[in-house]
Structures are given as structure tokens and as C-alpha cells.
Amino acid sequence: MAKYYYHPGWWEPGTALHVFVNRKTWEALPRPYQQMFHTAASEVNLQMLARYDERNGDALRRLVAEGVSLVFYEEDILKAAEQASFEIYEDYTIKNQSFRRIYEPWSHFRENILYWSNVKESMKNSLPIALRTEILRKACMKSVRIF
């Protein structure tokens, strides 16, 4: 077993499933079959993500119990890795039209989702903190005795 668990894993921030179907075969399917296929694939992906979320906490606790140290990458390492990655992506967009055809809309999507995620995550994370703070305040007030 490894001694260290490095985080975050920017190379795979979340697991996703992929399915590939021959285009001619896909187009030959009746529309209802295409819709069923899409629905089934979406459902399997959602179930897999839910299982990961359900099990990852316990798995991480087992690693720590076995003596694995959680190590967070330094911010400068993450920034350097991101910069190097995007330099490679930009180089590929010049050399490979197929890559560019996928990368450009992905890049636009990424900008939009990061913009929204930053707002959403800050709201999501601040509520539990506010609730915990209020619960702690009330608990402390109950334990305070005035003589």
C-alpha cells in the first residue's frame, strides 16, 4: 500500500463513463431505441457517481486507518501542472483539427461551468458552516451559567 494519498487528483476530478457506438449503427436504430439507450447510459452513469460518493468516505477512512498520509499538493505545483496542461492543449489545437473541434467547445463549457461552480460551491459550503456555527453558539449558551 502506498504511504501517501496525494490530493487533489486534477487529472481525474470525477469519474465519468463513456460509450461509443458506430455512427451508422446508431442512425439505423429507431428513435425510441436511441432514447432508451441514452436513458440507460445516463442512469448507469448517475448510479456509478452516487456509488463513488457513497463509498469514498469509508475508503478514505480505511486508508488513513492503515497509516496512509493525506498530502495536499501545494498551490504552486497545481498551477504549474494546469499551465503545462493548457500549453499542451493549445499546441494540439494548432496541430490537430480533430482535437481543436473538441477542445474549443469543451474550453467554452469549462469556463462557464467553473464560473457557476465557484458561486454554487461557495453557497453550498457556507450554509453548513453557518448552521454549525449557530448550533455551536446555542450549545455554548446552554452551557453558560450566570452566577
Structural domain contains residue 14: yes
- Number of compact structural domains in the chain: 1
Sequence-ordered list of residues with C-beta below 8 angstroms from that of 60, at least 6 positions apart, any chain: 5, 70
Confidence (pLDDT) at 147:
35
Are the beta carbons of 67 and 4 closer than 8 angstroms?
no
Identify whether 147 is part of a domain: no
| List of residues 6+ apart from 3 with CB closer than 8 A | 67, 68, 69
Element (H, E) at 145: none
User: How would you classify the pairing of strands 4-7 and 69-72?
Assistant: parallel
Residue 139 lies in a domain: no
Is residue 141, in this structure, part of any structural domain at all?
Answer: no
Separation between Cα atoms, residue 88 and residue 144, nearest integer Å: 60
Residue 56: inside a domain, yes or no?
yes
pLDDT tens readout for residues 117-143: 877 777 666 666 666 555 555 655 554
> Is 2 contained in some domain?
yes
Chain segment 67-99, per-residue pLDDT in tens? 999 988 888 988 898 899 999 999 999 999 999
User: What is the value of pTM for the model shown?
Assistant: 0.58
Tell whether 44 is covered by a domain: yes
> Does residue 39 sit within a domain?
yes
Single-letter amino acid, residue 3: K
What is the domain range of residue 35? Answer: 1-72
